[in-house]
Amino acid sequence: MSEEACKTIWNFVPPAKFKLPAEPASRKARSFFQRLFPGIRNEDSESGHEAVQSELKNAPGALVDWLAPFPSWSQAATAIEETLSPWLEDEIPDGNSMVMVAPYGSGLGKMLAALAEKNHWRVLAAPDYRILRSRDFSWLADLPLNSESTVVIPRLEEFFLRHFNGLEHLRKFVEKIFKANSRYIIGCNSWLWHYIASAMHLGDSFSRVCYLQSLQAQDLQQLFCWLESQQNHRPTVFRQADNGSFVLPPELTGKGRVEVADNIAGAKSEFPSSFLKKLAVESRGIPLVAWAIWRNSLRLAPDEDVAEIAREVADNDAAATAKAKTIWVKAFENIELPVVPEGAGQADAFLLLFLLQHDGLTAETIFALLNFGRDQLISLLNRLQKAGVVVFENNVWRASWQGYPAIRRFLAEQDHLQDAM
């Protein structure tokens, strides 16, 4: 899989052109009836193979890292640059701010940071949350208003605090940007953007807005093939555990197959596989959500020596002559994804909504923003963490990528403010 091919999956489009991966009506109806009658079996799962699936071994972390490493964002940054080039090259552009909106778990902040680094643009550092909670607005005086270089704000979430003072900081900040002569490229997660536009009515304060187009099944195929070829030098095939079908085109996976891949890409009509189509729908085409579920689905055959496999895959020299290694992928219906715990209510919804809008929060900030008892919040966080819905990383609580589809459904059921993506 060539780098150039992978770049094409990242597209930024006007809001009106944004579209989600299409969900077949039959799947929608089935999921409704499954919620109504939880006992209904899923007809897609082939019962004859369940025993085999249950015997599959979990792939060790090192192996999963080789097969599906964390995406690098350089191609996405290049795609953003190409999208922005007419606006950047225009000497008298209409408006000085461009907001790039992407759903939670899209890696947008990292894409924009990579873009800024590549072009040596200034990245605007956010003030501390303690400042955003106060009525000290002095940091706004230091904003680069007349910088010749483009200014990048990778995550507007860092400038946002859903606090009575925090909102005033954001309002003044947006006003400063509006008056500035510099060009501002602003990354914003879709949950925050929806809040800014629908609740604060600040959406029109920015000159231009574009959305990251959701990844369709074909895009996910390209992404996973490309990720797999990054570090894995051994030819690998990915087969679905319940029926043996290929999940990724075997010609495109594994280093050393690039030439073959370029020749026959698109020749197979059965790709993208049904697994990837379901994954695209479930993940709403969000890169890191799909990536996390993909990693969770990878398994090894029962007779495989896990340690040996990890060594083999990592051995670049042996890989050149090695036979293709089979990695089994759990049938989509059998992947265990986190669910919001039974009995979760308003307090859980508030907590999850705040975590999404802020793209993660420290415990202290959560205590300050939500008027619940600390004991209650600690117990909520622990309960949601046990369920795999939230994770605690680098001192920050955030929604887990795998749990995001369940969180979104839960918030929709509770009628809470939704994002548009």
Partner 1 sequence: MSPENVGPEQIFRDFDQIPFFYIIFLVLAAILLSSLVRRLIPSLARVLPPRFSYYLLPMMPIFRLMITGLALLMIVPTIVKPSMQNFIAFFGAIGLALGFAFKDFASSLIAGIIAVYEQPYRVGDRVTINGVYGEVQSINLRALKLVTPDDDAVTIPHNCIWNGMVMNSNDGCREQQCSALFYLNPDHDAEMVCQILQDVALASPYTLFSRPIRVAVREMPWATQYRIRAYPVDGRDAFAYISDLTCRGKAALREAGLKFPAAGGIAGQAYDATDYAV
Q: How far is the CB of 346 from partner 1 (least distance, A)?
A: 6
For partner 1, which is the closer residue by CB, 94 or 415? 415
The nearer residue to partner 1, 161 or 215, going by C-beta atoms, is 161
Separation between Cα atoms, residue 219 and residue 254, nearest integer Å = 18
Rg for the chain (alpha carbons), in Å? Answer: 23
Q: How many Cβ atoms sit within 10 Å of the Cβ of residue 162?
A: 18
| CB closer to partner 1 out of 364 and 413 | 413
Give me the least distance between CB of 377 and partner 1, in Å please. 12
Closer CB to partner 1, 142 or 413, in the complex? 413
Binding site for partner 1 (CB under 8 A): 35-36, 134-135, 162-168, 195, 198-200, 346, 350, 353-354, 369-371, 412-417
Q: Fill in the DSSP letter of residue 361.
A: B
Consecutive H or E run containing 142: none
For residue 371, the minimal CB distance to partner 1 (Å) is: 5
Query: Nearest approach, Cβ of 360 to partner 1 (angstroms)?
Result: 17
The nearest distance, CB 354 to partner 1, in angstroms, is 7
CA angle 408, 414, 416 (to 5 degrees): 70
- Cβ closer to partner 1: 180 or 200? 200
Tokens of 248: 């990724």
Min dist CB 190 to partner 1, Å, is 15
For tokens 């005033």, the residue is 168
Judged on CB neighbours under 10 Å (0-12, 13-18, 19+), 406 is: buried
- Residue 248's contacts (CB-CB under 8 Å, 6 or more residues apart) are 221, 224, 225, 228, 237, 238, 271, 273, 276
Q: Please, what is the minimum distance in Å from the beta carbon of residue 38 to partner 1?
A: 10
The nearer residue to partner 1, 120 or 135, going by C-beta atoms, is 135
Is 42 within 8 Å of 34 (Cβ atoms)? yes
| 21 neighbors 217 (Cβ within 8 angstroms) | yes
Cβ-based nearer residue to partner 1, 34 or 181: 34
**Non-local CB neighbours of 137 within 8 Å, separated by 6+ positions:** 168, 169, 172
Of 369 and 384, nearer to partner 1 (C-beta) is: 369
- 167 or 298: whose CB is closer to partner 1? 167
* Least distance CB 164 / partner 1 (angstroms): 4
Smallest gap from residue 353 Cβ to partner 1 (A): 7
Pairwise CA distance, residues 179 & 2, whole Å:
43
Report how far apart, in Å, the C-alpha atoms of 203 and of each of 95, 190, 196, 287, 367 are: 14, 12, 6, 25, 28
